[in-house]
Structure 1
Amino acid sequence: MESTKDLIQKLNIADECTTIEAKKGSAIDRSILETVCAFANEPALGGGNILLGVEQEKDSLFPQYVVSGVTNPDKLQLDLSTQCASVFNQPVRPEISVEQVSGNTVLNVFVPELPEGQKPVYFRNEGLPRGAYRRIGSSDQRCTDDDLFVFYNKEDSLDGSVVKDSSWNDVSEEAISLYRNLRAKVNPYAEELQYNDTDLLRALGCMRNDNGEIKLTYAGLLLFGSRIAHRRLLPMVRVDYIRVPGNDWIADPDNRFVTIDMRGSLLEMVQRVFSQISDDLPKGFLLPEGELQAESIGLPTRVLREAIVNALIHRTYRENQPIQIIRYSNRLEIINPGFSLKPEEYLGEPGSKNRNPHIAAVFHDTNLAETKGSGIRTMRALMQKANLLPPTFESNHSRNQFTTRLLLHHFLSEEDVKWLATFEPYDLNDDQKRALIFIKEVGAIDNSAYRQLNSIDTLKASADLRDLRKKDILYQKGKGKATYYIPGITFARYQEDDVVRKPLNTPALELKTPPPALNTPPSTALNTPPPELNTPPLTKPNTPPADELPPDKDIEEIVVKIGDLGERVNDANKVKELILEICKIRPYKASEIAKLFNREEDYFKRKYLSSMIADKTLTYTYPEMINHPEQAYKTKD
């Protein structure tokens, strides 16, 4: 087991860490047990360390993790070992050591990863899947149905399940004919080509006999269903192609975007979506000196096709959401429901995990996709060969979403070289320069995107980003898993005419301005943080100070109702009703709502706000970045 000093050093190098968690350690609470559960469950992680008695400085310009110490190490050890043996469905045995650091006592707790046959471990009183946790980045995330297939090492059964209201009349003859043509090109002697249509679909796992009636499975409906059947039975399973002017989501409210909705057989959709996007992308040709054959420049067609196929195959069809393909002036973002079943750090390595095995098999048989896990590696190689920045991938477990981002900008053009030359006094390495080009195009970067751009590990990425932050080239926003970086005061950028540059010491971005989110799904509240609270004092019990209430008559009436609840509130429904009334007036931050009730913010988020978000009675104003520093809540309607 690593020493506490080494772990703290790693914690201070990496702004976010998968295998280390620091806790104050005043008591063994729920959050510590969730981390134990996550470390024990996460596949291929090897376990992780929890440091009790280590905290991050709050009021420092560059916060560091420091030793605060624990006062009751014996009791903490007893409580932790007892709860780990009793609260889960099976005992978890952490290794605990007591160390002295800077005169303070620290508990170094190592939680080993459980063997495959013993996973998942979960809270006994909650059951599966909600009682189990995974370690995603630096956070502990509740498990979903999709996670169970990761733990039990088997494929999702949804695409093999029967669609109750389906029948043979929902089959598209054109889709079957397309499959036969594509399969014949791969193997003209394939046995299944000799079957009639009914036997063919049954052999592919796309049709079943259900109590004497022919029914399509989800794979059958998705692969061979007609557009009418898709609209009737799977109304939200479609692809939305959205063209946005400029580089930001809804930058111009008067010229928002153009949307093209596409639905139908997945086999037909590949070419349809590909043609729609490729016709819209910039194209060009380059004739090198002395050559007779011109080279095509721009986004490689195979990269685009691979990204589309990945979205169709690997999305989860349990979510009633469309795939969104957003075309900005400088990039293409493909957002599909369903986080990656492979950890982000293993994307591009051999081996594939499929949610939809029947769909993946058909795509493989028709040579529309391979199933060996090499697609992402191929995309990276082709983008590099085309002198484009590598694609970046973002898997968001909490939102159950996966984003592929393809920059259309050629890396290190003549203008970029001149622009990067302004940073020569800062002695930047090639990885850092590549990140600056990425930020200039996208607006922000995080540790995951930096690692993917440069094919490096977390510690190297964290060290490079920290160096850029110390030089004021980047400015850090958020904390822990929500850490990201935006242009700092020495970040040179083009003015609107794209010709005259600002001097190097000119602030490029107001530090209080929230950056565009890294994965930019639709939202109309991106640039409308709630106003500050500034209302005269009220005298009711449980009321906040005078300068913390907005000048609104409605909120004053609600504050009176809050006062009438008394110090101890046993009816959670009454509190939730008041929260809905508050957030109906305007979006409120969690800190503002907690102050109205004279409660701690963290407690209030756990007790009320999280469950109301889950119940969809409240929504986020920044749904594309849950941990946005200006995040606020509003009533659903």
Structure 2
Amino acid sequence: MLYDDLAEIIANLRGLGGDHAFVEAKRAESKLPKSVRETLSAFANTSGGVLILGLDETQGFEATGVRDPAKMEADLAALCSENLEPPLRPLIGTHRFEGADLVVAEIPELPPGSKPSFNRGVGMTQGSFVRVADGDRRLSPYEVQLMMANRGQPRDDEQPVAGTTIANLDHALVDTFLSRLRRHRSRAFANLDTTAALRRAKVLVGTELSLAGLLALGEYPQEFFPQLMLTFVHYPTKSGPDPRNGTRFIDNVAAEGPIPVMVDEALIALRRNMKRRSTVRGAGRAETYEYPETALREAVVNALVHRDYSGTSHGTQVQVEMYPDRLLIRNPGGLYGSVREENLGVEGTSSARNATLLKILEDTPLPGSDRPICENRGSGIPAMLAAMRDAKLSPPRFADDISAFSATFPNHTLMGDDAVRWIASLDEHGLTDSQCHGLAMLFHGETLNNQAYRNANDLDSRVATEELGDLVARGLLVPAGGRRYAHYTLAEDAAPAPTDSTDSPAPPKRRADRREEILDALGDDEATRADLVAVTGLHDRTMTRWLTVLLRQGLIEATERNLRSPNVRYRRTSKRTLDETGG
């Protein structure tokens, strides 16, 4: 780790007033704290992180230091190697910071096939942790089980269901399924009779139905698994039931049957409870649902086919909850395999927890349609994101916490009238459509990072990084979290001013032009860019942008031609005022 990276991390800790998901600081003057084992396990089981020894959180992250950094490094390396299973190999080093020695360890995330990391002294169930917000939480036995299952290909969906026979199948679904198989996969299925074809497709295991076969084609799977269903609840308030009048819910549906029927009933319930809004389309207006049906269908299908079907989860259903400000779809079992929150939406990214179920559903259509339930091509979430973009809505927020996965759809138009007026009040020329969308996400209280920005605008990472950097340079955004874990917030003087009424937010009191401020900071002296950043408090990107403007207008000059050099100094020219430039 470079010194500048460490300084940025510590500055963020001090600004936040506490640890965060990717950084843990501990006071450790002479020996390793006991809780280090938990933190190492948590980082390795989550997304990796940085452990800093020698910072005192109770004193505002003061650098109290480590007395014997060489011994501390050796002790930490030994603990990672001997006390944790599997052994961890973090990058450990000592940094001199504010007159104190800090021992810093960068802990990588373990690959899925090696999780969970746990403390050997207490065993896997008691010694496995995960990082949640700024703390370490012990994994539940169910979460440990899921991590163990993710080491290979789960086979829960292939298990035979005792007491079932071919008679428990929905014959109309089976006829359509076999017809598609014989048409699309004639080499494997054209010459097989019904029983042989169902066995080859793993709908039948011996004389019993597989769990996948029962769920995809069964007449009534809930006869054997009462909770393997989907529930839909429409709540009257943002927090759920309305305590003022005792209304618990507006609508409540239990969708049962095979997966095609559950998807169909869920979409019927959603249509019945969604409002319709008018949107401008060309020269006219179109009536659309508040959430695009394509996005909801993909989300419901994903929840049903990618959920955990191990025995421990048979008592948990897929839940769809509608609130005035959002729609939440949640399923048991987090993401599986190589799929991570950060690559959700990347075309072709796919890992099938329930491989047999997905294969069956490729040839199982929705009721009254020729469209199959899923394509098994990793296209579900990209289609979901595209539908939200087309409807000018914020992208869904995905959350994976090992034991559950959820998709939350905000209920607002991304570029509504209030957001458009606020962006116009910033008086920034040359913003791209995608930059306006990113600003609108923050206006609505959404989280903005590189991934969310890409999902909202269908951009590659390079373009997203450049456009976000430009918003920082303009002084509109402030990066936080360091380079590796960067997210963005609105600059204080760009944020909409609060209002006590129901009127639109007041425009920000923003100083968009920084030229006079920088000229005043220079005075009659010379200064480097870093000096000016320290004096003005502006972000380095913002300073670079305005120095370029001042150079172009002839108000300042540089002491070197290589403007990228950190040693280049700037001074004012004989053209002393902005009035002389016409600007």
1:79 partner SS? helix
Q: Aligned residue for 1:411?
A: 414
Distance 1:405 1:169, change over 3 A: same
Q: Distance in 1 between matches of 2:179 and 2:244?
A: 46
| Of 260, 264, 273, the match for 2:266 | 273
2:199 corresponds to 1:202: yes
Q: Larger C-alpha radius of gyration, 1 or 2?
A: 2
What is the one-letter code of the residue matched to 1:122? F
1:144 partner SS? helix
Which runs of no fewer than 5 residues in structure 2 stay unpaired?
Answer: 365-371, 469-477, 509-583
Give the alignment of 1:104-123 within 5 angstroms: 104-112=100-108, 121-123=117-119
| Of 33, 36, 39, the match for 1:32 | 36
What is the one-letter code of the residue matched to 2:300? I
Q: Distance in 2 between matches of 1:286 and 1:416?
A: 16
The superposition leaves residues 513-567 of structure 1 with CA deviations (integer Å, 9 ceiling, x where unpaired) of: xxxxxxxxxxxxxxxxxxxxxxxxxxxxxxxxxxxxxxxxxxxxxxxxxxxxxxx
Deviation at 1:215, TM superposition (A): 2.4
Deviation at 1:171, TM superposition (A): 2.8
Q: Aligned residue for 1:491?
A: 498
| Of 361, 369, 374, the match for 1:369 | 374
Deviation at 1:53, TM superposition (A): 0.9
2:217 corresponds to 1:224: yes
Give the alignment of 1:179-258 within 5 angstroms: 179-180=177-178, 187=184, 189=186, 191-192=188-189, 195-209=192-206, 214-227=207-220, 229-230=221-222, 232-254=223-245, 255-257=247-249, 258=251
Q: Distance in 2 between matches of 1:282 and 1:448?
A: 31
| Of 307, 311, 315, the match for 2:303 | 311
Q: Distance in 2 between matches of 1:378 and 1:8?
A: 41
Deviation at 1:472, TM superposition (A): 10
The superposition leaves residues 252-288 of structure 1 with CA deviations (integer Å, 9 ceiling, x where unpaired) of: 4522212111111112222222222124323456675
Distance 1:388 1:20, change over 3 A: same
Distance 1:107 1:166, change over 3 A: same
Q: Aligned residue for 1:87?
A: 83
CA contact (8 A) 1:208 1:217 kept: yes
The superposition leaves residues 462-500 of structure 1 with CA deviations (integer Å, 9 ceiling, x where unpaired) of: 5897754856959xxxxxxxxxxxxxxx434763xxxx4
Q: Aligned residue for 2:326?
A: 331
CA contact (8 A) 2:397 2:408 kept: yes
Q: Distance in 2 between matches of 1:473 and 1:391?
A: 23
TM-score, normalization by structure 1: 0.62
What is the one-letter code of the residue matched to 1:351? T
Deviation at 1:9, TM superposition (A): 0.8
Q: Distance in 2 between matches of 1:295 and 1:503?
A: 30
Q: Aligned residue for 1:386?
A: 391
CA contact (8 A) 1:163 1:218 kept: yes
Q: Aligned residue for 1:438?
A: 444
Deviation at 1:313, TM superposition (A): 0.9
Q: Distance in 2 between matches of 1:413 and 1:112?
A: 42
Deviation at 1:295, TM superposition (A): 7.9
Count of paired positions: 460
Q: Aligned residue for 1:348?
A: 345
Q: Aligned residue for 2:98?
A: 102
Q: Distance in 1 between matches of 2:286 and 2:293?
A: 16
Deviation at 1:166, TM superposition (A): 3.6
What is the one-letter code of the residue matched to 1:53? G
What is the one-letter code of the residue matched to 1:359? L
The superposition leaves residues 573-604 of structure 1 with CA deviations (integer Å, 9 ceiling, x where unpaired) of: xxxxxxxxxxxxxxxxxxxxxxxxxxxxxxxx
What is the one-letter code of the residue matched to 1:245? P
Distance 1:251 1:294, change over 3 A: closer
CA contact (8 A) 1:87 1:124 kept: yes
Which runs of no fewer than 5 residues in structure 1 stay unpaired?
Answer: 59-63, 475-489, 506-637
Distance 1:117 1:268, change over 3 A: closer
What is the one-letter code of the residue matched to 1:243? H
**368-377 vs 131-140, greater mean Cα deviation:** 131-140
Q: Distance in 2 between matches of 1:82 and 1:155?
A: 33
The superposition leaves residues 411-437 of structure 1 with CA deviations (integer Å, 9 ceiling, x where unpaired) of: 223344346667779xx9746632344
Deviation at 1:144, TM superposition (A): 2.1
CA contact (8 A) 2:442 2:490 kept: no
Q: Distance in 2 between matches of 1:408 and 1:263?
A: 27
Q: Distance in 2 between matches of 1:131 and 1:296?
A: 51
Q: Aligned residue for 1:401?
A: 404
TM-score, normalization by structure 2: 0.67
Q: Distance in 1 between matches of 2:124 and 2:263?
A: 36
CA contact (8 A) 1:95 1:109 kept: yes
Q: CA RMSD in A?
A: 4.0
Q: Distance in 2 between matches of 1:82 and 1:303?
A: 49
What is the one-letter code of the residue matched to 2:498? F
Q: Distance in 1 between matches of 2:212 and 2:332?
A: 17
Q: Aligned residue for 2:473?
A: none
Q: Distance in 1 between matches of 2:383 and 2:129?
A: 32
Q: Aligned residue for 1:357?
A: 355
Q: Distance in 2 between matches of 1:358 and 1:168?
A: 18
1:268 partner SS? helix
